[in-house]
Structure 1
Amino acid sequence: MNLTQQIREDMKTAMRAKDTVRLGAIRLLLAAIKQREVDERIELSDADVIAVINKMIKQRRDSIAQFEAAARHELADIEKFEISILQIYMPQPMTEAEVEIAVNNAIASSGVQSAQEMGKVIALLRTELAGRVDMSQVSALVKARLSPNIVN
């Protein structure tokens, strides 16, 4: 069963359980998936679905920050709940040690020597780590590894 089918099954389960809040979050996810499929005229793979979920989580985190700044905690709580539903479908997050190993391997395999070339390393890591770690943390780690003050 692919990820989209699993999400659809979870929607049916939420309907049967009359869990309207969960159902709403799942329907938003399915709508985003369907929209991307229609826009690109393809059927999304699991990796593509994870990218959609990642984008939705990022949007919700931005909304939470704005809602909390405006003292709209009830709206921030709704967004937090939606994030908890979306994260169910994300792959298992990587540990810091696993991320460091992946970064070191990518730097070694790419032959990059300076921070100006860190885009090559990030491009290698993006496919391997997609959905499993925050790429801004990976970027900071790569930059720290490639900075001239630290020797590999």
Structure 2
Amino acid sequence: MSLKDRITEDMKNAMRAKEAERLGAIRMLLAAIKQREVDERITLDDAATVAIVDKLLKQRKDSHQQFSAAGRVDLADKEAFEIVVLEAYLPQRLSADEVTAEVQAIVTELGTCGPGDMGKVMGAVKQRLAGKADMGLVSAAVKAALAG
């Protein structure tokens, strides 16, 4: 079963269980998937679907942070709930130590040596770790590896 099929099944289950908040979050995800498919006239595979989930998750985390800072607890709670729903569709994430080890291996493979090589390293890292790690964590690991 593809990830998109799993999301559709979860939407149907949420409708049957009358879980309005969960249903809203899943519909938002399916709408983003459908929008990309229509815009680009393609059918998304699991990797592209994970990329959309990752993008929406980043947006929700940013919104949660902004709402929390503004004292809007009601909206922050809604974003936090959507974060939990979206995280269920991501593959198992690498730990910080695993990310650091992968980044070190890539830096060694490429033979890079300084902060000026950040773009080259990030390009290689994104290909290898896309969907497997939080890119904020990856970026920090690349900066640390190139600085040291």
TM-score class, shorter: over 0.9
Q: Give the corresponding residue for 1:80.
A: 80
Q: Number of residues paired by the alignment?
A: 148
Deviation by residue 1:31-68 (Cα, 9 ceiling, x = unmatched)? 00000111111111111111111111111112112212
Q: Give the corresponding residue for 1:54.
A: 54
Question: How far has the Cα of 1:3 moved from its partner?
Answer: 0.5
Q: Give the corresponding residue for 1:41.
A: 41
Alignment of structure 1 residues 1-152 onto 2, 5 Å: 1-147=1-147, 150=148
Name the CA distance, whole Å, in 2 between partners of 1:58 and 1:96: 18
Name the CA distance, whole Å, in 2 between partners of 1:19 and 1:50: 23
Percent of residue pairs bearing the same amino acid type: 53
- Give unpaired runs (5+ residues) of structure 1: none
Task: Give the alignment's TM-score, normalised by structure 2.
Answer: 0.94
Task: Give the alignment's TM-score, normalised by structure 1.
Answer: 0.92
Deviation by residue 1:88-119 (Cα, 9 ceiling, x = unmatched)? 00010101221122111111111212110121
The residue identity in structure 1 corresponding to 2:125 is L
> 2:3·2:46 contact (CA, 8 Å) conserved in 1?
yes
Name the CA distance, whole Å, in 2 between partners of 1:68 and 1:118: 32
Question: How far has the Cα of 1:120 moved from its partner?
Answer: 1.2
- Give unpaired runs (5+ residues) of structure 2: none
> 2:93·2:134 contact (CA, 8 Å) conserved in 1?
no
